[in-house]
Amino acid sequence: MWDLLFYVLVIALLALLVVAGVAAARGYFNGVLSGSSLFGPRPDPRIDVTEQANIDGRRRLLLIRRDDVEHLIMTGGPVDVVIETGIVTRQGYAVPQPPASNAVVFERGARSFGQKASDG
């Protein structure tokens, strides 16, 4: 009888250790437990999806940043395509270009009703 009780306690202790180990590993990988004293701080991520846009039901455009360089990729079609590569960013963010304020939209002058174009 004591042998049976001993083995049941050993199995319960092993099960408790397994559950505690799984919980600790899960917390470490989810970032809850930093573990900085054991492994050191986590490095900053080098890759990131900056923007994404759906083209249609299957295809999408991805702007991926890696080490301050961005790449434009279209995925989901029969073949994934790199559209543009080597887009340089400043301090990890894309620099938007401001619209030109002196751009000419219409070159033709305004029309006045009631006059012909040859009159004036």
Question: pLDDT, tens digit, for every residue of 72-118?
Answer: 999 988 888 888 888 876 655 555 555 555 555 445 555 566 666 55
Average pLDDT over the chain, rounded to whole?
77
**Among the listed ranges 2-16, 35-49, 91-105, which one has the minimum average pLDDT value?**
91-105
Mean pLDDT for 52-64 is 91
Domain boundaries, the chain: 7-34, 47-88
Token couple for 57: 């039901």
Cα dihedral 19, 22, 28, 34 in deg (nearest 10): 30
Q: 66 near 47, Cβ under 8 Å?
A: yes
Highest mean pLDDT among 21-30, 33-42, 83-92: 21-30
Determine whether 39 is exposed, middle or buried from the number of CB atoms within 10 Å of its CB (0-12, 13-18, 19+).
Answer: exposed
